[in-house]
Amino acid sequence: MITIPDTGKQRIVIVGCGFAGLTLAKKLRNSGYQVVIIDKNNYHQFQPLFYQVASAGLEPSAISFPLRKIFQHYKDFFIRKADVIKIDTLNNDLITTVGTLHYDILVLAHGAKTSYFGLDQLEHCTRSMKSVADALDLRNTILQNFEDALAVATPKERDQYMNIVVVGGGPSGVEISGALAEMRNHILPKDFPDLDCSKINIYLIEANNRLLGAMSEKTSEKAAEFLHRLDIKVMTSTSVKVCDEKYVFLSTSEKIRTNIVIWTAGIKANKIEGLNKDCYTKGDRLLVDRFNLIACFKNIYAIGDVALMTEEKYPAGHPQLAQVAIQQGALLSKNLRSFLNGRPMEIFRYHDLGTMATIGRNLAVVELPYIKFQGLFAWLVWMFIHLFSIMGIKNRLLVFINWVWNYITYDQSLRLIIKPKDRN
C-alpha cells in the first residue's frame, strides 16, 4: 500500500500533472479535500515549447517545473512518482508501481501519446516530441548527425545525415520545421564551416491537401508561404508508408534518404487497464458527460487529452489542446467544491481562445475568435502569450533572455550533445 496519512477528508487522486491535472490540483487548494497527485515524472512540462528544446533554442530546465516545489505550501497535498498499472473500480483502488492507493474520487488526466495510425513499424524508426526527454534526445540526434556528416566519404552517404523529414503539418510540425530551417540558415554555417549547409534539406510531409488543417485556408496558405520562404520542402497530399534506418518511402513512390524522421502526425490517449471497453472511443479517449464524469461511474472523471466530450459546437469532441485541458481542470475543481458542499454542478462549455503557430523569426500565424493576422505582429503575440503562460518568474526570465539573445545575435548557446553513459 502507498502510505498517505488519513486526515479524515475525502481523497481525490489525480493521475497525471499536465495542463489539465495541474490546473485542477492548484485550484483545489483549501478545498476541504485531501489531494494526491500520481505522475510518472516529478515535474510538469510546458509542451508547446518542446520543439525549442529539440532545436537547441531552450534548455529542458526552462520549461520544466518540479511538482514538489509547486505544491510545497499546499496543505493536505501529497505527490507520488509512479506509473499506474490498473484501476480496481470495485474497491476504489489505484494499483501503481509503488503500491496500491485507495481513492474516493479519481480524476484521470494522464494525457496522450504519439499515434502511428496502426503503422506500428514507424514507431521504431521515427522520433516523437511528447516529453522533455524526447525533445532532448532529438536535439542530440540532430547535432550528432551533422558531426557524422563530416566523417563520411561520399555525398550519397552524407545525404543520410543532411536530410531531415518532419511528418505532420499541424502546429508542432510547422514549428519544428521552421526552427530547424533557421538553425540551418544562420547557426550551422558558423559552427560547421567545412560542411556545405546549403545541402541540408528539411522536408515537411502532410497527408492532407494543406497545412494547419484546424485553421482557415487563408492562414494555411500564409503558413505555407512562410515555410517556402525558409526553403523548407513542403509536400502535401503525401503520406509516409514505411521507413528504415536509411530511407523514408512515400505514398508518391518517392523515397528520401535520411536517418532522422520526426513524427508529429497524430496523438492518441494513454490507456489504463481496468475500465470497461465501452468507456473508450476513437483515439482511445474516454467518453465523458458534460461534467467530465466517465459513463457508468459516479466517482471517476477524465479531463484533458484523455477525455472526449461532445457539445453543440463540437459533435466529434473537443480538440486535444492545452486550452481545453486548462478549462476542464478549472471547472472540475469548481464542481468538486460544489459537490462537497451540496451545491449544483455546472456543465462544461468550451470557450475557444484561438490558435497560433510560429514558423520563424518575425513569421507566425494567429487566429483569434474575431480576428486573424500573420507576420511580425502575430509573432510578437505568440511570444507574449507563451512567455506569460510559462510557470515561474525565473523560467520566464530564462526563456526571455534566450529569445532576445537569439534574436540579436542569430545564435544559440545550447548546442550540446549530452547523452547518458552506457552501462554494461
Backbone angles phi, psi at 231, to 5 degrees: 65, 45
DSSP-assigned states of every residue in 219-275:
HHHHHHHHHHHTT-EEE-S--EEEE-SSEEEETTS-EEE-S-EEE-S-EEE---BTS
Q: What is the Cα gyration radius of the chain?
A: 23
> Across-strand partners of 302?
108
Q: Which domains does the chain have, with CATH numbers?
A: 11-114+267-340 (3.50.50.60), 120-265 (3.50.50.100)
pTM of the model: 0.93
Residue 328 to residue 8: CA distance in whole angstroms: 27
Residue 5 to residue 22: CA distance in whole angstroms: 22
Whether residue 348 contacts residue 333, with contact meaning beta carbons closer than 8 Å, is answered with no
Residue 304 to residue 196: CA distance in whole angstroms: 45
**How long a stretch of residues is the chain?**
424
What does each of the 424 residues of the chain score in pLDDT, given as a tens digit?
788 998 899 999 999 999 999 999 999 999 999 999 999 999 999 999 999 999 998 889 899 999 999 999 999 999 999 999 999 999 999 999 999 999 999 999 999 999 988 888 888 899 999 999 999 999 999 999 999 999 988 888 888 999 999 999 999 999 999 999 999 999 999 999 999 999 999 999 999 999 999 999 999 999 999 999 999 999 999 999 999 888 999 999 999 999 999 999 989 999 999 999 999 999 999 999 999 999 889 999 999 999 999 999 999 999 999 999 999 999 999 999 999 999 999 999 999 999 999 999 999 999 998 899 999 999 999 999 999 899 887 888 889 988 888 888 888 767 888 877 665 4
Count the neighbouring beta carbons within 10 Å of the beta carbon of residue 259: 20
HSE-CB of 84 using CA atoms within 13 angstroms: 26
> Across-strand partners of 174?
none
Residue 169 to residue 238: CA distance in whole angstroms: 11
Q: Give me the residue label for grid cell 550528432.
A: 144
Residue 141 to residue 129: CA distance in whole angstroms: 13
Residue 413 to residue 241: CA distance in whole angstroms: 37
| Spatial CA neighbour of 240 closest among 126, 342, 329 | 126
Residue 293 to residue 345: CA distance in whole angstroms: 12
Reading the block at residue 32, the C-alpha cell is 476541504
